[in-house]
């Protein structure tokens, strides 16, 4: 083979976070930057000699060129086969499915998830292991160690083949297989939800607006919702993936999917609204006049998952990330199944799913999943909602309000303070941690602190311990505040504050969450000094 060994030196700042390495696109495009990190990944996972590796991404700017470089490096490092989505496209859950179905060694997934795209936007790369899920910390630590010791990388001098033509070609000694990125995913979904029942739902006149946000889910949603399930043409909007997501921020929240939210609260609202994010792993679901929070969505889906074709055996257990509201806990308690509270990051669900301990898992950041893949899956969650609506013959609002009457309502919101200085964010968290022992018994804005801790998690399957995962303040009156610094951005730091309060009285369930949580919001600010430390009079994003 025509292999070139290129001398290099470590590049600072290539430490992967909870979802791999994310930086500005321009950073990844710097000479040698991507090459260094890919070589560190290859060596950090133990090499790819004789292995099959899946490669694909969300189609954002630089996706196709980066894949060409990655393929040349995989070939130079001895990989036997690379399986690539056509045009370099694979949604994150679809990539997980292909890794599992083809029994690949792992996959290189190119995405910065819900972050903006384009030449001035963000880019990301992560390695998924053989179970289809994100690499655990033991592997990401090994990758980071290699970034600090790298002296050379290997790359084939030959050009990578076209990504647009289906079929098999060769790159050096490596087979490159270009696959339809949608077909396997459609087949998987048919085993999980009742396509016939959902077809009848649409045939009855049920209406849906699905906003694919010019991101990777567009072709998947068009194929399933319009072509297979028979929804009218135009049900899926913004369905063509664009390198810059049409100049928009592909995050399905009230700020970045504002047009969909306005429609669903208007007199012209369809029966259901939905959206997914940049790489297809997040979702939002709305009914006429109601937005289902991701925490509530997890709880409602858990309580109703037995209606769906692939889950008629019921629940084995539920897992949620620690900042996610405790609504799912109440379902687990009533149904007498285990509830697991994990750190933020989908990789923490992987062991539970592999061990058969849980049937559904989710995060407040709009991610939900099940054992069918080892990633959160936005379109799957939306199809599951459609199947439950079809099975129950009720509107989304009716299903949600009945759920609240049965279990009580956990009023919930998340306040994001984006782009604050890393130093001020670190100091805020350090001071919070330093105050934990003194907080219990103190009162802030009429709420008394019952408990306060820095969340740590011991994995029940392998005994591993993950610490310093966020500060939890548990108040009386069923209230809670959680503070975390997010690792998903590319500039500065994002302080996330999660606020919730339980309300058992159904006559009070129709109140605005921001009003109900006003005392929790005020108490959180009083404890952490958010406004004084960040200089912000209000959060940048409220979800």
Tens of pLDDT, residues 108-162: 999 998 899 999 999 999 999 999 999 998 999 999 999 999 999 999 999 999 9
Neighbouring residues of 309: CB distance < 8 A, sequence distance ≥ 6: 191, 192, 193, 194, 387
Average pLDDT, the chain: 96
Closest CA to 375 of 276, 274, 255, 495: 276
466 vs 8, 24, 127, 138, 224, CA distance in Å?
33, 28, 20, 11, 39
DSSP helix, strand, coil percent of the chain (3-state; round to 5): 35, 25, 40
Integer Cα distance of 449 and 278 in angstroms: 39
State how far the Cα of 196 lies from the Cα of 63, in Å rounded to an integer: 36
Write the pLDDT tens digit of every residue in 503-514: 999 999 999 999
Residue 17 has pLDDT above 90, yes or no: no
Cβ atoms of 542 and 415 within 8 Å: the answer is yes
For the chain, how long is the longest CA-to-CA vector?
A: 73
- Spot the catalytic one: 91, 111, 113, 370: 113
Q: Is 113 a catalytic residue?
A: yes
SS3 of 21-80: EEEEHHHHCCCCHHHHHHHHHHHHCCCCCCCEEEEEECCCCCHHHHHHHHHHHHHHCCCC
How many Cα atoms occupy the beta-carbon half-sphere of 365 within 13 Å?
21
Q: What angle in degrees, to the nearest 10, is found between the helix axes of 327-335 and 294-304?
A: 10
DSSP string, 317-337: EEEEETTS-THHHHHHHHHT-
Cβ atoms within 10 Å, residue 514: 13
User: What distance in Å separates the CA atoms of residue 487 and residue 183, rounded to the nearest whole number?
Assistant: 33
Mean per-residue pLDDT, 515-530: 95
What CA dihedral angle connects 86, 61, 44 and 8, to 10 degrees? 120
Helix (H, G, I), strand (E, B) or coil at 173: coil
- Residue written as token pair 């790489």: 279
Please give the structure tokens belonging to residue 329: 């806990």
Torsion of CA 507, 512, 516, 517, to 10 degrees: 150
Cα–chain center distance at 374: 11
pLDDT of residue 537: 84
Q: What is the pLDDT of residue 535?
A: 84
Encoded tokens for 370: 């099940």
| 235 CA to centre of own chain | 24
Give the bridge partners for 156, in sequence order.
3
Q: Which contiguous run of DSSP H or E holds residue 122?
A: strand 122-128
Number of H helices, E strands in the chain: 18, 27
Q: For the chain, what percent of residues have pLDDT higher than 90? A: 90
The whole-number pLDDT of residue 230 equals 98
Q: Give 461-501 pLDDT, tens digit per residue.
A: 999 999 999 999 999 989 999 999 985 555 678 999 999 99
């Amino acid at each position: 083979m025509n292999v070139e060994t290129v001398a290099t030196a470590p590049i600072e700042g290539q430490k992967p976070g909870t979802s791999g390495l994310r930086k500005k696109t321009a950073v990844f495009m710097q000479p040698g930057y991507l090459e260094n990190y890919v070589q560190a990944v290859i060596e950090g996972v133990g090499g790819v000699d004789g292995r099959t590796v899946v490669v694909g991404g969300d189609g954002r700017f630089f996706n196709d060129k980066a894949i060409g470089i990655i393929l040349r490096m995989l070939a130079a490092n001895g990989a036997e086969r690379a399986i690539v989505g056509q045009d370099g496209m694979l949604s994150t859950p679809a990539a997980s499915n292909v890794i599992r179905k083809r029994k690949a060694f792992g996959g290189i997934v190119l995405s910065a998830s819900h972050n903006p795209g384009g030449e001035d936007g963000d880019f990301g790369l992560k390695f998924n292991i053989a179970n289809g899920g994100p690499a655990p910390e033991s592997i990401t630590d090994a990758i980071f160690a290699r970034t600090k010791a790298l002296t050379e990388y290997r790359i084939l001098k030959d050009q990578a083949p076209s990504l647009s033509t289906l079929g098999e070609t060769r790159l050096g000694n490596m087979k490159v297989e270009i696959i339809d990125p949608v077909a396997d995913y459609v087949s998987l979904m048919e085993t999980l939800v009742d396509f016939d029942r959902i077809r009848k739902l649409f045939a009855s006149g049920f209406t849906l607006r699905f906003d694919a946000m010019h991101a990777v889910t567009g072709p998947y949603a068009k194929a399933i919702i319009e072509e297979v399930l028979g929804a009218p043409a135009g049900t899926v909007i913004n369905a063509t993936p664009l390198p810059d997501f049409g100049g928009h921020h592909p995050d399905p929240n009230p700020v970045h999917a504002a047009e969909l939210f306005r429609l669903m609260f208007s007199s012209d609202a369809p029966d259901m609204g939905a959206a997914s994010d940049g790489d297809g792993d997040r979702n939002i679901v709305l009914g006429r006049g109601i937005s289902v929070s991701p925490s509530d969505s997890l709880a409602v889906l858990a309580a109703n998952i037995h209606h769906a074709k692939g889950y008629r055996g019921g629940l084995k257990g539920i897992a949620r990330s620690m900042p996610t509201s405790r609504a799912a806990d109440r379902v687990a308690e009533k149904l007498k199944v285990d509830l697991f509270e994990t750190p933020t990051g989908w990789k923490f669900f992987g062991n539970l799913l592999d061990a058969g301990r849980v049937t559904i898992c989710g995060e407040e950041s709009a991610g939900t999943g099940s054992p069918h893949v080892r990633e959160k899956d936005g379109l799957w969650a939306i199809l599951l909602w459609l199947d439950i609506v079809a099975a129950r013959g009720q509107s989304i609002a009716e299903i949600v309000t009945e759920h609240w009457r049965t279990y009580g309502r956990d009023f919930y919101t998340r306040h994001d303070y984006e782009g604050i200085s890393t130093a001020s964010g670190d100091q805020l968290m350090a001071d919070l941690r330093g105050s934990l022992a003194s907080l219990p018994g103190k009162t802030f804005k009429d709420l008394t602190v019952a408990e306060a801790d820095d969340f740590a998690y011991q994995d029940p399957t392998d005994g591993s311990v993950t610490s310093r995962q966020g500060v939890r303040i548990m108040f009386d009156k069923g209230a809670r505040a959680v503070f975390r610094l997010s690792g998903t951005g590319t500039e500065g730091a994002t302080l996330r504050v999660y606020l919730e309060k339980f309300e058992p009285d159904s006559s009070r369930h129709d109140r605005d969450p921001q009003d109900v949580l006003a005392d929790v919001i005020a108490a959180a600010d009083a404890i952490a000094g958010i406004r004084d430390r960040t200089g912000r009079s209000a959060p940048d994003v409220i979800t």
